[in-house]
Amino acid sequence: MLRDEDIDAPLPSMENLSNNDKEDFHDPSYIIAQIKLAKITGEIFNDIYRIPRPHQANPSEQSVNRILKSLYSWRDGLPSNLQFNRQLRPMYSSRSVASLHLNFGNVSNLPCQLPGFELM
């Protein structure tokens, strides 16, 4: 698995592109959202599902709550074109957006699947 510290490439951006050049590229918001969700997934595996070393504490409720807060902040911070709109049918603008939210649902369940952990 690649660690975030090992990657120094910037996230894709449309900044500094002319309007003409922007027409040649897709909006990077979807891939940026996937990358940020993958980063949170990495935190889950590093902080919660790691093999504890001797004299190292097991994951705490505090760690789980911090990661859940990150997940919900990620969801709430999505650009409008990537959010569900419960007033429309279908509630998503594309299959990619639906897939993104399914991925979010799967990832958000990971911290709560620890043996003996109950979410309050």
pLDDT above 60: residue 116: no
Residue boundaries of the structural domains of the chain: 24-113
Dump pLDDT digits (tens) for 64-94: 888 889 999 999 999 988 998 888 787 778 8
**How far apart are the C-alpha atoms of 4 and 27, rounded to whole Å?**
23
**How far apart are the C-alpha atoms of 67 and 84, rounded to whole Å?**
22
Helix (H, G, I), strand (E, B) or coil at 34: helix
CB atoms within 10 A of CB 59: 17
pLDDT above 80: residue 95: yes
**How far apart are the C-alpha atoms of 117 and 119, rounded to whole Å?**
7
Contact 33, 78 (CB under 8 A): yes
